A and B are shown apart, each in its own frame.
Chain A
Amino acid sequence: MSKKIEIIQPAGIVDGIIGNELRQQAIALVQQETDIILIDCQDITFMNSAGIGALVAALKAVKNAGGEFYLCSLNNQVQMIFSMTKMNRIFQVFTDREEFQGKFANG
C-alpha cells in the first residue's frame, strides 16, 4: 500500500505566525490520512527561532499522529539557524525535492 504524501511549500519569512499556520496545515493533513508531509523550504527567505519552535511543534504533532515529517531545500540562512540550534538532530532534511522523491516516489 503506497503512502499518501503531501508537500507544503511556504514562501518568504517563517516566523512564529507563519510557523503556526504550517503547524496547523500539517495537523490537518495528518488528520486527513496523509502519511508523509514534506515542507519544501526552497522559497523560504528567512526563518527565526519562533518559526523553528512552530516546526518542532508540527513535527511532534505529526509523529504523534503516526505520520512522518520531512524538510528539503534549506537556504543558507535556514541551514545556519538549524545548525546553531542543533535542529539537524531532530529533523530529517533532504537536499532538494528530487532527493526526497528518490526515496519516497515508490511508496
Chain B
Amino acid sequence: MQQEYSKSCNHISSQQINQNITQEMRKFDLETQIRAGDSYSRLQVNSELSSLGKVLSWFESLKDPLVPRRIWIECQTVLGEAFDNVVIHAHKDLPSTTTVEIGIKILSQLIIIKVWDQGPGFDLESQRYKVSQGVDDYAEHGRGVQILEKVADYFSYFSVPNGRNCLLILKFFDEQSHLNHQPLSLNCFSDELVSLEEIDGECQL
C-alpha cells in the first residue's frame, strides 16, 4: 500500500504536492471507511426473489434525512438490482437457504453499499462490455448492469475470504464530492481490499 502512495507521487510538480497530499488523505480516509466492517448496518436474507420486500423495508428503515431524496431512490433502485442479481445469477445453483448479506454505511457525503454472495462469482466486466455496446430497447433482460453503471460513482466486484464475493458500490451525494474523490484512482482498490482482508483473516470487509 505504501508503495502505491509513493508511486502516485512521482512526476508531480511542487505546486501540486499540497493538493496531492489532501487527495491522499481523502483516499486514505475513504478506504478506511469502506473497510471498517463493524460500522455497517447489516442484513442477512435467504436467497429468494421474495426477500426483496424485506431488503427494501430494511433499507427504508436506515433512511437518513441528510441523504438527498434523488440519491436515496437511486440507491434503493441499485440495491434492488444487486439483490436480484445475486439470487438469479450468483446463487443460481445454490439452495434458497443460502444467505445473501447486505451492508450499508451512510456517511456525510456518500452511501457505501456492499452485497455479499457465496456463489462461484460472475463476470461483471463482460456484462459491462455488453452494456457498453448498447442495450436493445426491447430486450427483456440485461438492464441490471446498465442501472448499476448509471447510479454508481464507483463499483467493483471481487472475491473475499471464506468463499464469498462482494459487490461494492459507492454513491456520492453531489457531483462535486464525486469529482474530488475521483483521483482516488480506484483501480488499485479491490486488490488492496482483498489483500488487507487476507492479512486480517476476516471474512468481512
Q: Residues of A at under 8 Å CB distance from B?
A: 12-13, 15-17, 46, 48-50, 52-54, 56-57, 60, 76-77, 80-81, 84-87, 89-90
Contact = CB atoms under 8 A, between A and B. Distances in A.
Interface in B130-154: 135, 137-141, 143-144, 146-147, 150-151
A85 B143 contact: yes
B52 interface: yes
User: Dominant SS at the A interface?
Assistant: helix
Given A17-B50, A48-B81, A76-B73, A85 B135 contact: yes
Given A77-B77, A90-B138, A15 B143 contact: no
B137 to A, nearest CB: 5
A54 B74 CA distance: 21
A39 to B, nearest CB: 16
7 contacts: A48-B52, A48-B84, A49-B147, A52-B143, A77-B77, A84-B77, A90-B138
A84 B146 contact: yes
B56 interface: yes
Contact of A84 (B53, B140, B150): B150
B77 A53 contact: no
Interface of B: 49-50, 52-53, 56, 69-70, 73-74, 76-77, 80-81, 84, 88, 135, 137-141, 143-144, 146-147, 150-151
Interface centre among B53, B76, B140 (most CB of A within 10 A): B140
A80 B80 CA distance: 13
A87 B137 CA distance: 7
B144 A56 contact: no
A48 B78 CA distance: 9
Given A48-B81, A80-B73, A84-B150, A16 B137 contact: no
Contacts of A17: 49-50
A49 B53 CA distance: 15
A56 B141 CA distance: 10
Given A15-B84, A16-B49, A46-B56, A77 B139 contact: no
Nearest to A53: B140
A56 B138 CA distance: 6
A80 B74 contact: yes
B156 to A, nearest CB: 20
Given A17-B49, A48-B52, A90 B137 contact: yes
Nearest to A76: B73
A54 B143 CA distance: 12
A52 B135 CA distance: 13
B140 A56 contact: yes
Contacts of A56: 138-140
Given A49-B143, A50-B84, A84-B150, 8 more contacts: A13-B52, A15-B49, A15-B80, A17-B49, A46-B76, A49-B144, A49-B147, A81-B147
A55 to B, nearest CB: 9
